[in-house]
């Protein structure tokens, strides 16, 4: 089997990192919209 080009390795790493960032973006934005007083209040 021929060896893959290095560009595929770089492209794969970039895609995995971008998907990871997009995956955590929505929960992070929701958490950032909660005021600290509400987040630390005892229930």
SS3 of the chain: the string is CCCCCHHHHHHHHHHHHHHHHHHHHHHHHHHHCCCHHHHHCCC
Domain-located, residue 42: no
What is the domain range of residue 21? 6-36
Report if pTM > 0.75.
no
- Cβ-proximal residues to 31 (8 Å cutoff; 6+ apart), any chain: 39
> How many domains does the structure of the chain reveal?
1
Q: Distance between CA 43 and CA 38 in Å, rounded?
A: 10
Instruction: Quote the distance between the C-alpha of residue 3 and its chain's center.
Output: 30
Assess whether pLDDT exceeds 90 at residue 19: yes
Domain-located, residue 41: no
Per-residue model confidence as pLDDT tens digits over 21-40: 999 999 999 989 989 888 88
């Amino acid at each position: 089997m021929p060896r893959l080009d290095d560009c595929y390795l770089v492209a794969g790493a970039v895609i995995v990192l971008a998907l990871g960032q997009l995956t955590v973006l929505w929960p992070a934005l929701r958490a950032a919209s909660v005021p600290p007083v509400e987040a630390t209040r005892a229930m």
